[in-house]
Amino acid sequence: MTSFRFLETGHGTAAFNMGLDLAIVEAVAAGAVPPTLRFYCWKPCAVSIGYFQGVRDEVDLDACAARGIAVVRRVTGGGAVFHDDELTYSIAFPESHPLAAGSILASYKAICAGIVAGLGRLGIPAEFAPLNDVVAAGRKLSGNAQTRKRGCVLQHGTILLGVDVDQMFAVLRVPAEKMRGKLIEDVKARVSSCSAMLGRTVGYPEAVTAFREGFSAGLGVILVDGAPTEAELAAGRREAAERFGDTAWTNRR
């Protein structure tokens, strides 16, 4: 089994969270650190948008400002996400790793096996739903986004622990066309959370334990506890200041 470094970095700002993910994949690409799985959460809560999305298409910026919700553009594609009560993961490893074998869809499925396994440990039967979601009973619990940089895969995704759909859809603009063809076309009904599924609160610490085990079993990797290097932290802060916290980056589409 391959060993991956495991980081649990707690809460961070939107800009720093995205900056550290980028710093980690750059460090993995440079061979400075091993393949890495990171867990984290967001404070204050935030909206992230996909690399190719138009910020004004997807986000009610006035509603975000009024609620103190940050907005950040990711380096990965995909859709807009409201980050509040959740566990977020990122994983970075060379494209030569078996997890990246085959098509992009196959690599999403291979990585999302860790989420499915983690949900199973919580008692939630779930499955991968192409192209890039994990669902339970037809409801989305996890969205995932992947890119490749300098010969490495970077995938990050959200696992909803609790969800306030009214708050979520007060800040996100979801066109009717996006839901067309989904089993559940009502966008609010299509989203759920671990807590809602289980009828009890699933907190972040419990989720970290369940999904650490889930990723290890689902991906067939040994997770070795570690910490970000000083160089990664410095690069993450720099990316946060110069890229992810810059409105020119956020507003570029």
Partner 1 sequence: MTGEFVGKGRGGKLLRLRLDWTGDQVDAVALRGDFFAHPEDGFEAAEAALAGIPVAALGATFGTELARHGVRVFGLEPGDLDDAAAAIMARAAGEGAP
How far apart, in Å, are the Cα atoms of 71 and each of 12, 15, 157, 164? 13, 9, 16, 18
Pick the stretch among 72-80, 192-200, 206-214, 215-223 that binds partner 1 (CB under 8 A): 72-80
3-class DSSP assignment, residue 18: helix
Q: Is 180 in the site for partner 1 (CB under 8 A)?
A: yes
Q: Is 11 in the site for partner 1 (CB under 8 A)?
A: no
Q: Is 177 in the site for partner 1 (CB under 8 A)?
A: yes
Under 8 Å between Cβ of 37 and 6: yes
Residue among 10, 30, 57, 205 that touches partner 1 (CB under 8 A) = 57
Question: Which C-beta is closer to partner 1: that of 115 or that of 207?
Answer: 115
State the minimum distance, in angstroms, from the CB of residue 163 to partner 1: 19
Q: Which residue has the tokens 């160089």?
A: 231
Burial of 30 (0-12, 13-18, 19+ CB in 10 A): exposed
| Of 81, 54, 86, nearest in space to 70 by CA | 81
Instruction: Locate 155 and state its tokens.
Output: 């995938």
Question: Which C-beta is closer to partner 1: that of 147 or that of 250?
Answer: 147
Bridge-based pairing of strands 70-73 and 46-49 is parallel
Q: Is 189 in the site for partner 1 (CB under 8 A)?
A: no
Question: Which C-beta is closer to partner 1: that of 237 or that of 253?
Answer: 253
Q: Is 54 in the site for partner 1 (CB under 8 A)?
A: yes
Residue among 14, 29, 126, 145 that touches partner 1 (CB under 8 A) = 145
Question: Which C-beta is closer to partner 1: that of 3 or that of 96?
Answer: 96
State the minimum distance, in angstroms, from the CB of residue 158 to partner 1: 15
Convert residues 14-53 into a mask of x (bound to partner 1 by CB under 8 A) and - (unbound).
Answer: ------------------------------------xxxx
Instruction: Tell me the C-alpha distance between 72 and 244, whole Å.
Output: 6
Other beta carbons less than 10 A from residue 19's beta carbon: 27
Q: Which residue has the tokens 């999403």?
A: 108
Element (H, E) at 160: strand 152-160
Question: Which C-beta is closer to partner 1: that of 152 or that of 197?
Answer: 152
Residues 6+ apart with CB under 8 A from 157: 88, 89, 112, 115, 132, 142, 143, 144, 145
17 secondary structure, DSSP code: H
Residue among 19, 35, 78, 114 that touches partner 1 (CB under 8 A) = 78
Question: Which C-beta is closer to partner 1: that of 53 or that of 88?
Answer: 53
Number of residues lying near partner 1 (CB under 8 A): 27
Residues of this chain that bind partner 1 (CB under 8 A): 50-54, 57, 75-79, 104-105, 130-132, 145-149, 175, 177-178, 180-181, 253
